[in-house]
Structure 1
Amino acid sequence: MGRFNNDLPQLGGEIFLTDSGMETDLIFNKGFDLPFFASFTLLKNPKGRAAMRGYCLEHALLAKRRGFGFIFESATWRASPDWGVKLGLDKNALVAANRDAIALVEEVRDEAALETPFVISGNVGPRGDGYKSGALMTVTEAEDYHSFQAEIFAHTAADLVTALTMNNTPEAIGFANAAAAAGMPCAISFTVETDGRLPSGQPLGEAIMETDFEARKQPAYYMINCAHPTHFTSVLMEGEHWLSRLRGLRANASKCSHAELDEAETLDDGNPGEFGLENAALRRLVPSLTIFGGCCGTDLRHVEAIAAVLGQKKKVA
């Protein structure tokens, strides 16, 4: 059981940092091969495990230097049954991998010794391609599928389960129901296209409100990930009441569309300094935003840029 299952500290008003684009960092910056973007496959590779541990630790120590809380997503975005089949792994191997990924974060938490809260999140990815809606599951099918990881995390040190890159509401609702059935708080992070809508075409605000209304238990909060700030700023400027449910951003470094990123052979890491300013501007626009990190193309530099700007604001306040 996690330390904060019943009282998530990130629900207060303090800033929390989270990590960046683990998979793109490991592939493009550190030279590892990740079939299907499955970072958990490195856990049994000594060099890979050391790289993952170092990645987690450097982000945690950044939060420590800046005096922010920290949330780390376990390397389990692809550690679910359908992706396991593609990777040639049975369910027993996946159970072990999910548990081991949390254990690795526990090690880093103990070493980092933050004075602020260090929250461990069991990370869940979409059943299919995060960039495309594809064949939609029913809510019941999604609950059944995502219960596999939710139930595993409920018996580890994970404080919550977070679904990243959700692109349709039936899957998001099913995930929320799976988390509730496992007795775990959850967060849902939607991805959007360059028009600020989900890949399914649904407006972001409508997706959040529908999930809140239909889920057996409301998620603790929502986030946006795997899109550049310019893709969704106009949506956030509309000032709708659902914005109060939005807590976090894990934006892409690149301004490219998902289709363009799918075809890219080189990493577009954007401009870290500009990235930091864009995230800070969104924080001013939506005061409920308190969780900041990165997604594809980002690394420690991008989170450092966010922390530097938000740290200045913290001192002024």
Structure 2
Amino acid sequence: MPNTIADGGIETALEERLGQSLREFAAFELLETEAGRAALAEYYTPFIELAIAAEFPIALDTPTWRASSAWGDVLGYDAAALARLNRSAVEFVREVASNVDGNATLTVGGCIGPRADEPVEGEFMTAEEAEEYHLPQVRALAAAGANRIGAVTMGYVNEAVGIVRAATRMDVPVVVSFGVGADGLLADGTTVSDAITEVDRATNEYAKGFMVNCAHPSEAAKAIGNLTTTDRLAGFRLNAARHDDDTADSPEIFAAQLLELRELAPRAQLFGGCCGTDVPHIAAVAAGLAADGDE
């Protein structure tokens, strides 16, 4: 895969740039109304335009981070509604890209988030439970033609294993992205290195690769500083601010720190944003890649 840019932090951008109020940070609900779909299109469009202008492929995740059953229960969506919305999300992202430029080099990631934002000991699912929990969403996203499943902000190994196994059953590629804290560790205290090893061992290395997301570049550096091998690290989607400091870096500083991670992960090829990032941050990343001759 050539170097590829991704979009930014969809939920924070929708609220801060586009004035949307998201219940439980659930962007998928916007697919239900014309106004909501217009806001989503306004979110995605400038990233697609940027990728075309900069001549980079782009990977866009669907707005379905919350579109699984536990969050559906909180928000009032049954299984049938969630399946419909997951399918619609894939179709919507492709439609937006087509409306901008049908020749854009686009990868659509079917985004799956964790069952709980801050899982704690005693509430972790087994790998088998996680597989059955996430299977309906994987099935819907795969049926709609997502190029891959993106397991995002995973906080412990068993949930990641379950999603990879569900993707295996649906014969769809999957990339696992671990969320880490200020200490560079997963919520269960596991290092990224050990998490990659354990997921690969439990799934016969089915995942196409692994990422780190929802952390500041300095925190991601801690997370990958002890990797025994970087062969499986595919990229980063990171925050503009640290967990313990709300001060956001400028797009230029964010991009420089993000791209410095290539020294620790030379095989990483996907670069994008998470919380607090938007088009200017990804534009700076694209400019940095181009300046390094990585078009």
1:249 aligns with 2:236: yes
The answer to whether the aligner puts 1:277 opposite 2:256 as a matched pair is: yes
Q: 2:156 matched to 1:168?
A: yes
What CA distance in whole angstroms lies between the structure 2 residues aligned with 1:290 and 1:112? 24
Matches of residues 226-237 of structure 1 in structure 2 within 5 Å? Answer: 226-237=214-225
Residue 216 of structure 1 deviates from its aligned partner by: 4.9
Matches within 5 A, 1:1-317: 12=1, 14-113=2-101, 115=103, 117-129=105-117, 131-133=118-120, 135-216=123-204, 218-238=206-226, 240-241=228-229, 243-257=230-244, 268-314=247-293
Give the distance between the partners of 2:15 and 2:125, measured in 1 at CA: 30
CA shift for structure 1 position 279: 1.2
Secondary structure of 2:199's counterpart equals helix
Over 3 Å counting, the alpha-carbon distance change for 1:181 and 1:143 in structure 2 is same
The 2-side partners of 1:44 and 1:199 are apart by 33
Structure 2 counterpart of 1:293, which letter? G
Q: What is the CA–CA distance in structure 2 between the aligned matches of 1:251 and 1:155, rounded to whole Å? A: 29
Inter-partner Cα distance in structure 1 for 2:10 and 2:198: 30
Q: Does the aligned pair in 1 maintain the 2:177–2:213 contact within 8 Å?
A: yes
Gaps of 5+ in 2: none
Residues 192 and 224, structure 2, Cα contact 8 Å, conserved in 1: no
Distance 2:187 2:222 in 1: 17
Deviations 1:126-184 (A, max 9, x none): 0111x444510011000001101111122112111111000000000011000000111
How far apart, in 2, do the equivalents of 1:192 and 1:29 lie? Answer: 26
Q: List per-residue Cα deviations over 1:262-303 (Å, max 9, x = no partner).
A: xxxxxx543211001001111233211110110011111111
Q: What's the CA shift string for 1:107-132, capped at 9, x where partnerless? A: 12212336563111111000111x44
**Cα distance between partner residues in 2 of 1:216 and 1:174:** 13
Q: Distance in 2 between matches of 1:280 and 1:250?
A: 11
AA matched with 2:190: Q
Pick closer, same or farther for the CA change 1:234–1:256 going to 2, 3 Å: closer
Kept after mapping to 1: 8 A contact 2:111/2:150: yes
Q: TM-score scaled to structure 1, two decimals? A: 0.88
Secondary structure in 2 aligned to 1:234?
helix
Instruction: State whether residues 25 and 299 of structure 1, in contact with CA within 8 Å, keep that contact through their aligned partners in structure 2.
Output: yes
The corresponding residue for 1:264 is none
Give the Å deviation of 1:55.
1.3
Percent identity, aligned pairs only, is 35
SS at match of 2:5: strand
